[in-house]
Structure 1
């Protein structure tokens, strides 16, 4: 593959099931025909796909009473991406609650929170990417009574840009970038696990598709810093501290009763 072909393939953002994806498939087929490859066809699949609402984007608000203290509407950093940052297959919904910092959302993290007497039921988790399968992390949060999850990539866990640019090594990920992800943790789509989503393939009823029922929203490290910096409750253990230039507290809630 030539550099020019790579540029052609990656010039635009091809959302699964989109017209641009179809156009790219036809362009690849035309290129292969020029190479005189035989028996070329475009195979059609019908997977269960997940898209964000582009007209009414997701919002995260920090409020105190009727006053909005902070609001973020996660937007695409590059308009060519054409989709808002989201977690594919996340459940839609509107939730309200006090935030609680759950570290990586691992079993030992929730055990530590319970041992400290931290209330989890009805809260909104602020969680870090990494250390395990995302679907398992979200289901674990749901099983512990959490109503929603905000998830971010901490600079300590990746090559994300430091608060101090001089501390950054190599090409950094921007401080306001939002990492997309998916709750799919196996081959195939959720309705046809481990099987191709062909036209005639048997599909699971939607009620039997095993996905969390709580909403999940990815946020940037910069937004996570804003949401975490005035948390109340006990100070998080040393090994839970990230690299956001703040002292991480667990919560739930804030020192001034915002939520």
Structure 2
């Protein structure tokens, strides 16, 4: 599991990457004019990174759409989650009707182990979890990078519109932040392939929109035609969770193929 950067290093990374856009050489008033834009972008991005870093528990919502909402994109899946930066623990609920198959799965990720709870088990099993760490068929909806701030800390700022910042994200960072079962295989891409993302602060809420489909522009046309058109746009929001309770390890771990859920606490 990828842990969050500390606020100072994350801010320094954002600012450093942006200053690199100004090139080398120059001094005095001319150099100051050249760096003013990138420095401002760096400040905007690092401020948002700092906002997330101050959150005790980060509550985030991720949604995969066929394309951007402005273009009428349809929902593929939703993830609702709480993430503890100090512990690296996550509570995640997935809801989807992918391929007409309705699924609702609750996950608990603790110390790199993944646990599963089903609402079909009933209220008596609310604190009972099955270890599914190596079960790819059930863990497919989990991102590899569970820290939701990846779009901010890994982004290279490109431009700004008011308080909003447009960033470029390396395709490996994007793939790591998305549910790992969305792609049967990731196409061969040049190392410098990037996706465009917009990051918008709204008071206590930070909104991220990533053009996933745009990453495929460098893919050969024949290979691009095989890509799943459902995976087009990733929308995410982050805020400090109003529920400040700690994310706890599973109370009871059992094997549902051996023990009935009704007896999981025995």
**Global fold match (TM > 0.5):** no
Q: TM-score, normalised by structure 2?
A: 0.24
